[in-house]
Amino acid sequence: MEQSDNLLTRMNRQYHKLSKGQKRLANYITDNYDKAVFLTASKLGDQAGVSESTTVRFAATLGYSGFPEFHRALEELVRNKLNSIQRMEVTYGSVPQSEILNTVLHSDIEKIKMTMEHIDHDAFDLAVKTLMEAKNIYIIGIRSSAPLASFLRFYLNLIFDNVHLIQANGSSEIFEQMIRMKEDDVLFGISFPRYSMRTLKALEFANNRNAKVITLTDSIHSPMNLYSSCNLIAKSDMASIVDSLVAPLSVMNALVVALCMKKQDEVIDTLKSLEKIWDEYQVYSKDEMNYVDGKIEIHFPKEE
């Protein structure tokens, strides 16, 4: 059975072979996949009116190695099916107002922990090496991924002089900005559910130009990985009103630090030059707050 088959397809193909209890499971999941994704094997069985062992056998019958793999397939289904309103209702609909802050913070902590446990260190090292060797570095991130792309561009600019942030106002403009891309360049693409088709097309374009492609996304099953030889996986919120991007941001922080260590002397020289420029042109003297003798000194621009 093809791994790319989604859960609903597998259930439809196998339905006529399922036992009576397994059919109840299939029917429950089809009608309530947005709720089933948060249930253990035991609780899923309870909801469908079958035993935990029936639930485990059901996963095996569909071709999964066990309930954990089945559950990951269920997560993929929910990730691709739920709209924003449904995500909000499923994730936070039953959370009291007084517990929202702790709930969200704990959820973000879990995303970072999961990322730490599963990230591919070889892929991370390859990303560092690829960026170090690139003639030009292009970065693309659209919609909620756009702030991540801007953040990465800001810090890579302190390390390299060949960084380009692709402004994604339209597909044609994306390709116009990539028209000179060659095989010794690299495209760093960032996208999380719902995945951006414009970002995917940019990766395809870079791949066709034989440029290196690095992706930062949420799953090995992400369509982003179709055109990438270096995949950085960071967990994002599967079902939420907003995308949880703390784990992807942490991975990018680590990437920037690793690159700084590789080019430590150049980065120090750049920062020294910037400090002189900031002082000379009073970049931070008029509208920034600074600690002076343990107190905050606030500078306001003079009135004209």
d(CA 244, CA 104): 9
The predicted structure's pLDDT at residue 87: 56
- CATH 3.30.56.10 for domain 7-81, yes or no, is no
pLDDT band at 110 (very low <50, low <70, confident <90, very high): confident
Determine how many CB atoms are found less than 10 A away from the CB of residue 125.
12
- Average model confidence (pLDDT) across the chain: 83
Mean pLDDT for the stretch of residues 1-19? 72
R_g of the chain, CA atoms, integer Å: 24
The pLDDT of residue 1 is above 50: no
Closest to 51 measured CA to CA, from 10, 20, 88:
20
Amino acid at 300: F
Please identify which residue in the block is written with the tokens 């429950």: 28
The pLDDT of residue 10 is above 60: yes
Contact (CB, 8 A) for 279 and 272: no
pTM of the model: 0.67
The predicted-structure confidence for 200-252, as pLDDT tens digits, reads as follows 999 999 999 999 999 999 888 788 888 898 999 998 865 455 678 999 999 99
d(CA 82, CA 38): 14
Superfamily the domain 115-266 falls into: Glucose-6-phosphate isomerase like protein; domain 1 (3.40.50.10490)
d(CA 25, CA 39): 13
The predicted structure's pLDDT at residue 96: 72
The predicted-structure confidence for 222-235, as pLDDT tens digits, reads as follows 888 888 989 999 98
Q: What is the 3-state secondary structure (H, E, C) of the chain?
A: CCCCCCHHHHHHHHHHHCCHHHHHHHHHHHHHHHHHCCCCHHHHHHHHCCCHHHHHHHHHHCCCCCHHHHHHHHHHHHHHHCCHHHHHHHHHCCCCHHHHHHHHHHHHHHHHHHHHHHCCHHHHHHHHHHHHHCCCEEEEECHHHHHHHHHHHHHHCCCCCCEEECCCCCHHHHHHHCCCCCCCCEEEEECCCCCCHHHHHHHHHHHHCCCEEEEEECCCCCHHHHHCCEEEECCCCCCCCCCCCHHHHHHHHHHHHHHHHHCHHHHHHHHHHHHHHHHHCCCCCCCCEEEECCEEEECCCCCC
Burial group, residue 240, by CB count within 10 angstroms (0-12, 13-18, 19+)? middle
d(CA 184, CA 192): 26
pLDDT band at 271 (very low <50, low <70, confident <90, very high): confident
The predicted-structure confidence for 130-185, as pLDDT tens digits, reads as follows 999 999 999 999 988 999 999 999 999 999 999 999 987 766 789 999 999 999 99
The predicted structure's pLDDT at residue 2: 40
d(CA 60, CA 25): 13
The predicted structure's pLDDT at residue 57: 92
- Domains of the chain, by residue range, sit at 7-81, 115-266
The pLDDT of residue 108 is above 90: no
Angle at 14 between CA 12 and CA 17, to 5 degrees: 130
